Amino acid sequence: MDCGNALVGQIKVCRYLIKNEGGDGRFVILPKSSWPATNFKTNVSSSSLNLYPFEVSPSIFELRKNDVFALEVVFKPPDTKKYTQDVVLACDNCTTTELKLVGNGELALVEYMSAEEQTNESTHLDETHIAIDDFKDVSSSKIIRFPALNPNVYTTKRFAIKNTTSSPIDYSWSIYKPILEDNLENEMRARNINYALEKDSYTFTIAPKQGTLDRNEVKYFEAMFSPQKVSIISFFRNSQIESGEML
């Protein structure tokens, strides 16, 4: 029973159909190390079997001839590696079937693809490039630049984000007040920083605000800049993915 890939720290639920092609019987799922067992009840302590990082439920059930039953496996990987567990599906007539639980843990990873070209011909600097004289947030690796605008006028730019994993990733965008740093060598200050959420700012927005990146999907977003007053404005945009990581 292969659960495939799942994000580290997240839960993936898989269901497998089992058909009883024999006679009526009671069945139990046990760790392979616990079989043979003289008594089902002494080896099953709950309605589910917990074999870290898998949980199989129900662990004991009854099936009539030709019944089809859904067995549920919950996989929650704690690390980026392959996990396996061997189990035995045993009937009360001592007929057994050996099964293997398999799953892979992976980190949620995304890639910034590109933004639209600047329409202002006087601006030739790549919007993702951080110049030596730039003020940037200490955690930022990309910059999307907007042209100067009059207050209450807006412009937009489209950019793409790719899910580089084989698991779906839930995301949501949040806007924070930046912690500006003009010394590019002082990257260590990016650690252990508490950002202040900017709840009431409409200067920058990104749409769609939340959703799901399917496996290996490239999704396009629209960033809008609408200054409310005359000033130099900078905000720090995070995409928070379901594992709690900030990008």
Residue 13 pLDDT: 95
Q: What does the angle CA 228 – CA 231 – CA 233 come to, to the nearest 5 degrees?
A: 80
Residue 198 pLDDT: 58
Residue 200 pLDDT: 55
- Number of neighbours of residue 184 by Cβ within 10 angstroms: 12
Residue 184 pLDDT: 43
Structure tokens at 81: 């590696």
Residue 144 pLDDT: 80
| Calpha distance 89→1 (Å, rounded) | 12
Residue 180 pLDDT: 65
| Calpha distance 40→38 (Å, rounded) | 7
Residue 123 pLDDT: 38
| Calpha distance 78→52 (Å, rounded) | 10
Q: Assign residue 192 a region (left: φ > 0; alpha: ψ between -120 and 50; beta: otherwise).
A: left
Dmax (CA) for the chain in angstroms is 83
- Going residue by residue through the chain (247 aa), what tens digit of pLDDT does each one get? 999 999 998 999 999 998 988 889 999 998 998 887 766 655 555 688 999 999 999 999 999 999 999 999 999 999 999 999 999 998 888 888 999 999 999 998 888 887 664 444 333 444 555 454 455 666 667 778 788 888 888 888 898 999 999 889 999 888 777 766 554 445 445 455 555 555 556 788 889 999 999 988 999 999 888 888 776 555 555 555 554 443 4
User: Phi and psi (nearest 5°) for 219?
Assistant: -115, 140
Residue 66 CA from chain centroid, whole number: 39
Is pTM beyond 0.85? Reply is no
Give alpha helix (H) positions in the chain.
40-43
Of 47, 73, 69, 70, nearest to 58 (Cα)? 47
